[in-house]
Structure 1
Amino acid sequence: MNTSLAHQQLIELWPDQPPGSAGLSLVQTVEERSPDVSQFRDRAVTGIGQPTLTVWKPAQPNGTSIVLAPGGGYVRVVLDKEGIEIAEWLNTLGVTVFLLLYRLPGEGHAEQSKVPLQDAQRALRLVRANAAAWGLAADRVGAMGCSAGGHVIGSLATLFEREVYAPVDLADRVSARPDFVSLLYPVITMDRRWAHPGSRQRLMGYASEVGHDAALEAAWSCEKQVTTEVPPCFITHAADDASVPVENALDFHRALLACKVSAALHVFESGGHGHGIRLARGKPVEAWTGLFERWLRQHGWIA
């Protein structure tokens, strides 16, 4: 592993074939969905065979870092509005961001439910294992996720000790537990009543739609996996979210409080789903960035 850290450096998560992807041939595709790229980019990535971290390094790093998982309903990874745009804002706070391009569970991987968590655990471990060499603090490595990326990071926050892959090198000896977590309009539960249907189907497979596997459902419902070891959490959601019901955030927050985990929850009157920063402007949810910055300062993760 290169001991220097450059802006927009690309880091492959796995030295060889990722676990559960042997023999799978995927062609990574980037689709531009913006009607006017001179105004904004809106890229969606599919066919992710080799997951990566892209470094977004601030001009004046303060030692704090965040592994950032964008959303996309587990059918794509939305690169710009829930990735790069948030990373650039976090850079203004001195936070080094590692943008996670994780494998999508419905693209043919073995044990598909484990794939996003495998990549999230590995990403967190790589950042922590290399923190000293990269000028970062090993005890200030956070994780952040939006929508289905919120499920990736919610799973990491609750299942950081679950053995979902065999160790591949020394990095896998360090803890995958984030020091803090931020979840924006997150997919949390696989409970049919409140689950995002597309994320549920792709994570759990077609069988989840024709039958009912209570054990599998509970295993991947983050609110069912909360313990006292979950790191402090900052959660936001809009009450009018028509894609991922606000009950996802409410039930997760309730579970955190029951285990006496430090947790902040902000439910906004309106703002919809998938707003990130750009689409939050002029809506109540626009306040989330200021609230998150204050939360980071109050906890000492930024000065």
Structure 2
Amino acid sequence: MPDNGTILVLPGGGYHLHAAHEAEPVAEWLESLGWRARVVRYPVLAQHPIPLAAARAEIRAERAAGAGLVGLLGFSAGGHLAGHAALAPDSSPEERADFAVLGYPVTSMVVDPHLGSRAALLGPEHRHADAVAVSLETLVTPASPPLFLWHTAEDASVPVSHTYRLGERLAASGVPHEVHVFAGDVHGIGLGEGTAASAWTTLCANWLERVRNIAGPRGVLVP
């Protein structure tokens, strides 16, 4: 099986913990597809920019080790961090992800925010401007890397509007992306076995096959 590159897995947990079922099982699935994969247990209960700096350091380490293609896959709050590391405008080429996969992600810290994630990342008395600055929809530009997003339609923990809003910004900026929304109200389901959302793994595997054609940290998907 070809070596496609490296994907770093960022489990969710509201920036309070790392959900075990969103960690090694996901890395093992990615490895079955031919990717190198490992779990990144980024700092939790640590305010911005500490988690972002940790994610960037892991990307730099992969590039220093010779990886030509480095992607991120994150869930919920880990999805926020994956998206932040992919979209942050001040990242150097060595610490910018080539692509990201976001599962039921926290994207906005302003509109319908996940209060626990926001408080852990920004503190209980943060400024509105600080929340805007880490909301993913505000960071999208035409140079943003490709993203794959998925969610459930009635997620009661992180509203599906988080994914819709980010998808709209990606579309408006001409950024290659896919958005998949599945029936149900579940959250935190990882690979999704036994749920209507389990199809995300097949859809994502197909998308990752196309991602292999990305050239460089600011490349585009080649048909």
After TM superposition, the score normalised by the length of structure 1 is 0.67
Contact 2:156 2:185 in 1 (8 A): no
Residues 1-303 of structure 1 aligned to structure 2 (within 5 Å): 60=1, 62-78=3-19, 80-104=20-44, 106-107=45-46, 112-131=47-66, 136=67, 138=68, 140-159=69-88, 161-162=90-91, 175-191=94-110, 193-208=111-126, 213-270=127-184, 272-277=186-191, 280-300=192-212
CA offsets, 1:257-294, max 9 Å, x none?
111100100011115100011xx223210100000011
CA offsets, 1:148-204, max 9 Å, x none?
000111111111624xxxxxxxxxx7521211110000011101x411110011111
What is the CA RMSD across the aligned residues, in angstroms?
1.7
**Residue type at the aligned position of 1:267:** V
Q: Any idea what SS the aligned residue of 1:175 has? A: helix
Q: Any idea what SS the aligned residue of 1:125 has? A: helix
CA offsets, 1:240-261, max 9 Å, x none?
2111111111101111111110
Cα deviation for residue 99 of structure 1 reads 1.0
**Partner Cα separation in structure 1 for residue 156 and residue 130 of structure 2:** 25
Contact 1:233 1:264 in 2 (8 A): yes
Contact 1:228 1:260 in 2 (8 A): yes
Please name the residue that 1:20 is paired with: none
Gaps of 5+ in 2: 215-223
Q: Any idea what SS the aligned residue of 2:86 has? A: helix
**Residue type at the aligned position of 1:179:** D
CA offsets, 1:119-145, max 9 Å, x none?
0111111101212xxxx4x1x211111
Cα deviation for residue 207 of structure 1 reads 0.4
Cα deviation for residue 234 of structure 1 reads 0.5
**Partner Cα separation in structure 2 for residue 241 and residue 141 of structure 1:** 29
**Residue type at the aligned position of 1:72:** G
CA offsets, 1:52-73, max 9 Å, x none?
xxxxxxxx56141101111100
**Partner Cα separation in structure 2 for residue 233 and residue 174 of structure 1:** 17
CA offsets, 1:23-78, max 9 Å, x none?
xxxxxxxxxxxxxxxxxxxxxxxxxxxxxxxxxxxxx5614110111110011112
Tell me how many residue pairs correspond in the alignment: 214
Contact 1:64 1:301 in 2 (8 A): no
**Residue type at the aligned position of 2:114:** H
**Partner Cα separation in structure 2 for residue 89 and residue 180 of structure 1:** 18
Contact 2:4 2:212 in 1 (8 A): no
Cα deviation for residue 214 of structure 1 reads 2.5
Q: Any idea what SS the aligned residue of 1:113 has? A: coil
Gaps of 5+ in 1: 1-59, 163-172
Contact 1:223 1:252 in 2 (8 A): yes
Cα deviation for residue 298 of structure 1 reads 2.9
CA offsets, 1:60-97, max 9 Å, x none?
5614110111110011112x210101111111111101
Structure 1 or 2: more helix by fraction: 2
Which has the bigger relative contact order, CA under 8 A and spacing at least 6? 2
The 1:243/1:229 distance shift into structure 2, 3 A limit, reads same
**Partner Cα separation in structure 2 for residue 288 and residue 157 of structure 1:** 20
